[in-house]
Amino acid sequence: MTIVTRFAPSPTGYLHIGGARTALFSWLLAKSQGGEFLLRVEDTDRERSTQEATDAILEAMEWLGLTAEGETVFQSQRFHLYNSYIDTLLAKGHAYWCQCTPEEVEAMREQARAAGKKPKYDGRCRELGLGPGAGRVVRFKGPLDGVTGFDDMVKGPTSVQNAELDDMILRRSDGAPTYNLAVVVDDNDMDVTHVLRGDDHVANTPRQILLYKAFGWRVPKFGHVPMILGPDKAKLSKRHGALSVMEYKKMGYLPEALVNYLARLGWSHGDQEIFPREDLLRLFNTNNLGKSPSVFDLKKLEWLNAHYIKESTPERLAALLPEYLADAGETAGLNLDPGYLAGIVPLLQPRAKTLVEMADMARFFLVPANALAYDDKAVAEQLTPEARRLLADLLPIYEAAQDYRDHKALEARTQAFLDARELKFKAVAQPLRVALTGKTASPGLFETMCVLGRDESCARIKRALVL
Identity of the residue numbered 81: L
CA 191 to chain centre: 27
Strand 73-74, strand 36-41: pairing: parallel
Catalytic residue among 238, 310, 377, 408: 238
Question: For residue 353, what are the CA distances in angstroms to 49, 261, 307, 326, 421?
Answer: 35, 14, 8, 19, 40
CA distance 88 to 83: 9
Surface-to-core class of residue 323, CB atoms within 10 Å of its CB (0-12 exposed, 13-18 middle, 19+ buried): middle
Residues 6+ apart with CB under 8 A from 326: none
Contact 30, 3 (CB under 8 A): yes
CA distance 263 to 265: 5
CA distance 263 to 273: 10
CA distance 194 to 295: 26
Q: Which bin fits 138, alpha (ψ -120 to 50), beta or left (φ > 0)?
A: beta
Residues 6+ apart with CB under 8 A from 350: 310
Question: Does 117 participate in catalysis according to the annotation?
Answer: no
List residues with catalytic annotation: 238
